[in-house]
């Protein structure tokens, strides 16, 4: 866990990164929130980034993410200021599942391209096959099929990703099965999502997450205050796109309105 502490903070942002990546890819976003007077709490999820070297891309249970996110929120509580949580992609899914399972003191929720469905899911045959392999060889690692090239249009971010030793392309069969189960559960238990102000930021040309699944989930959320904002030409990583300043300004306005 890493923490950036502002002078006289207005609030605290807990940031949850996506699959294959790590907290270091959020340096620009952290700096923006910090400059606006917010503390930032962020870390690497289990099996990703600096949390492991041997089994990167593997978890035994999706609940491992929920446990860690709850720990980050407890750290945020210590500042005694409004708490906001921002989850990207799989991190967005993990935030959804955490809030469905835990009652936590959150002021507002921001999700960027939350992983509630995949643009290119495995075929029915492969999906069934992974269920069998998950029983006998759960740690078998496969190429996720996701690369930084289809995550953002920014050449600079793409180049950095290609050189990044912590950017992981391989995941275990168990990891995939846990992800698939969490996506199903997030939609099945949408009514358990708390009545919190919610902002969903979605890339309209997302090549990783199925934006239709995101919209369907959003439409069934019963929050009294919710906003879905789609950027037509943006790829998956809306905070890494050339238009990232515009996206951040919109996210900041959502947070400011709640303070």
Active site residues: 89, 206, 236
- The answer to whether residues 47 and 55 touch, using CB atoms and an 8 Å cutoff, is yes
| Two tokens, residue 88 | 């990207």
> Which residues, at least 6 apart from 71, have a Cβ–Cβ distance to it below 8 Å?
1
Residue 241 Cα distances to 23, 93, 106, angstroms:
17, 21, 27
**46 and 65 Cβ atoms separated by less than 8 Å:** yes
Say if CB 73 and CB 194 are below 8 A apart: no
Tokens of 103: 């009652």
Tell how far CA 210 is from the center of its chain: 14
Cα-Cα-Cα-Cα dihedral sign, residues 108, 226, 249, 19 = positive
State both tokens at 17.
């990164």
Residue 27 to residues 34, 118, 147, Cα–Cα distance (Å): 10, 26, 19
Cα–Cα distance between 72 and 179 in angstroms, integer? Answer: 21
SS3 content of the chain, % helix, strand, coil (to 5): 45, 15, 40
């Amino acid at each position: 866990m890493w923490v950036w502490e502002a002078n006289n903070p207005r609030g605290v942002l807990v940031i949850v990164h996506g699959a294959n990546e790590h907290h270091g890819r959020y340096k620009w976003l952290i700096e923006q929130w910090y400059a606006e007077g917010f503390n930032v709490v962020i870390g690497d999820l289990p099996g990703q980034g600096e949390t492991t070297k041997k089994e990167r891309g593997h978890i035994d249970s999706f609940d491992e993410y929920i446990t860690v996110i709850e720990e980050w929120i407890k750290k945020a509580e210590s500042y005694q200021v409004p708490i906001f949580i921002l989850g990207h992609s799989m991190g967005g899914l993990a935030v959804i599942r955490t809030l469905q399972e835990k009652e936590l003191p959150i002021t507002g929720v921001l999700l960027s391209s939350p992983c509630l469905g995949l643009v290119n899911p495995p075929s029915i045959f492969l999906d069934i096959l992974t269920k069998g392999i998950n029983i006998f060889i759960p740690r078998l690692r496969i190429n996720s099929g996701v690369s930084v090239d289809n995550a953002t249009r920014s050449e600079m971010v793409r180049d950095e990703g290609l050189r990044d030793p912590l950017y992981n392309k391989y995941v275990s069969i168990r990891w995939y099965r846990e992800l698939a189960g969490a996506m199903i559960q997030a939609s099945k238990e949408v009514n358990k999502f708390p009545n919190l102000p919610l902002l969903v930021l979605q890339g309209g040309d997302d090549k990783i997450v199925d934006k239709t699944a995101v919209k369907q989930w959003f439409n069934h959320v019963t929050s009294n205050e919710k906003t879905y904002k789609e950027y037509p030409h943006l790829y998956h990583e809306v905070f890494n796109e050339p238009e990232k300043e515009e996206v951040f300004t919109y996210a900041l306005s959502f947070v400011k309105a709640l303070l």
